[in-house]
Structures are given as C-alpha cells and as structure tokens.
Amino acid sequence: MQSLIDNARAFPARTGDLSRFSSGQQPMALFITCSDSRIVPEMITQTEPGELFVLRNAGNLVPPDVSAHSGEAATIEYAVQVLKVQDVIVCGHSHCGAISGLLRPQLVEGLPAVERWLAHAGQACREIADQNLASNDGDDLLTSAIKANVVVQLNHLRSYSAVAEAEERGALRLHGCFYRFETGEVSAFSDAQRQFVSIAEYLVGEVASAS
C-alpha cells in the first residue's frame, strides 16, 4: 500500500497540466474487458486518458438486457446514448480465471456470487460443444472457451435496444478481441470466418465489408 500512496503523491508533478479534462469527455470507444490485473486496456490499445470508456468485471461479461439493473447495463447505456461512442470492444484474454471457473466448477466452490455471475458465460461451453465457433489450430479447451465467451458477450450486447438500434443505423460497430498477455498478441473475431484472425487480416476484412 505504501508504494501506491507514494506514487499517488508524485502523480500530479509527473503528468503536467490536466485541466483539459475538466470540460468533459469524448471517448472513441467502450472497451469491455476482464478485471484481471495483467490486462491494461490503455497499454494494449496505446491510447491516452480520455480516449477509452472502460468497463471491467470478472470474465468481461455483459449480462443480457433482460437482467437489467446492473452496473454493466448502466455503463453500456451511457456510453452509447450519451457519449455516442462509435465502437464497442469486448476483449477476452489468455488464462482467464473466470472462464477456468466455468470449465472447472470446483475452482469456484464456496464463492456463490462468482458462481451466479458466471452463468452469464455459460453459453460459451455450449458453443464449443456444438462446434458453432471454429477454433484456431493449437487452441486448448480453455482458450477456445475464452474466445467463445467473447462471441457470446457480443450477442448479449445486441440484446440492448440502444446498441441494436445504433448498430442498425451504422452509428456503432461491435468488435471481439482476444489478448494473449504472455506475448502481447491481439487477434479479432471475424464474423465471415467465424474465428479469430490477426488484427491485420481483420482490418482488411472490415475495410472490404464497409465498402
């Protein structure tokens, strides 16, 4: 704790003038990712303060709109309707403990809140069982489940009327990503191929589909 206090004391002197943030915010994207301490959205995307609106929770989950009354629902609604973000990114990551708990329930025994929360990711296991999501060569079961979970959460996002309407108007784009923190590699989900592809390949596909 002492190191955190020391860093907080030194922070103002290191950052310079931050007064520009007092007039409001205009983030370009809503970035939904896991609470895992090894994941730093601004580092992954090389963005500055004010450029990302970040939502974090265990497993980067999006409760479907029927759940309502959640912090996730409020954050998504505000990002889309008030901040008018142009993109929403759901980013899963390698070695995710939340999805490990989904695959191996014994890991979350005695954690009732965690067990209930992971119900929002349950379809990920069914996606793998039904082979509706093509798995990249070399992916183990956990990695396949983590990627499937990203796709499930994208579908949950579309259950929000604000998201569905904005996407229909062409005012909002949804993206699914997978971050392998041990290498720094980021891949993205291609709707056309039904699998995760390199960022370079994904961008080419996005440009082609938009033209």
Residue 66 lies in a domain: yes
Provide the whole-model pTM. 0.88
Mean pLDDT score, 166-173 = 96
Residue 127 lies in a domain: yes
Residue 15 lies in a domain: no
SS3 track for the chain: CHHHHHHHHHHHHHHCCCHHHHHCCCCCEEEEEECCCCCCHHHHHCCCCCCEEEEEECCCCCCCCCCCCCHHHHHHHHHHHCCCCCEEEEEEECCCHHHHHHHCHHHHCCCHHHHHHHHHHHHHHHHHHHCCCCCCCCCCHHHHHHHHHHHHHHHHHCCCHHHHHHHHHCCCEEEEEEEECCCCEEEEEECCCCEEEEHHHHHHHHHHHHC
pLDDT at position 134 is 46
* Domain ranges, residue 148: 26-210
Residue 140 lies in a domain: yes
pLDDT band, very low/low/confident/very high, at 15 (cuts 50, 70, 90): low
- The CATH number for 89's domain is 3.40.1050.10
The pLDDT tens digits for 191-210 are 988 899 999 899 887 755 65
Residue 11 lies in a domain: no
The total domain count for the chain is 1
The pLDDT tens digits for 38-58 are 999 999 999 989 999 999 999
Residue 4 lies in a domain: no
